[in-house]
Amino acid sequence: MLSSLQNPLALVSRLLFAVMFLPAGIGKITGFAGTVGYISSVGMPLPTVAAAVAAVVEVVGSLALIVGFGTRFAALVLAFFTLVASFFFHAYWSVPEAQQMVVQLMFYKNIAIVGGLLALTAFGAGAWSVDGQRAAR
């Protein structure tokens, strides 16, 4: 029974990841100066470059997941991006104790997202994707 849901669930998985990353990437583009300022505030080097890379990774990665093209690579890049961002932007160990719970929750949420992206990297996009259609030929 569950194997018959593999392709629809793979599609839903890809779309749900895109729901998270695509608006964030578009927001980084439309509010680029604010994004650069926020990145600067956490001490990340080359904040303008980091903002541009983040926007490209989130938008292009999301579009790749939506259509299922280069899915394994896109998911791996998004997983690495999310892991790195977690340590810079959700460093719960370095915030005041009153803020730790929320920041820690965000950190571990991101770690769970990395796990899901790694599963997508391992198992691919499913048949309902450009990758799946290409493999079927």
Which residues constitute the domain of residue 45?
2-132
* Pairwise CA distance, residues 129 & 11, whole Å: 8
pLDDT, mean of residues 60-64: 98
Per-residue pLDDT tens for 74-131?
999 999 999 999 999 999 999 999 999 999 999 999 999 999 999 999 999 999 999 9
| Residue 36 domain-assigned (yes or no) | yes
Is 45 inside a domain boundary? Answer: yes
User: Does residue 26 sit within a domain?
Assistant: yes
Which percentage of the chain shows pLDDT scores above 90? 95
CA distance 115 to 137: 30
CB-count burial class (<10 Å; 0-12, 13-18, 19+) for 41 = exposed
How many structural domains compose the chain? 1
Sign of CA dihedral 46, 51, 54, 55: negative
Residue 52 inside a domain? The answer is yes
pLDDT at site 1 = 63
On whether residue 137 sits in a domain, the answer given is no
Which 3 state secondary structure label does DSSP give 31?
coil
Pairwise pLDDT comparison (136 vs 125), residue with the higher score: 125
Measure Cα distances from 75 to 14, 51, 84, 120 in Å.
9, 19, 14, 6
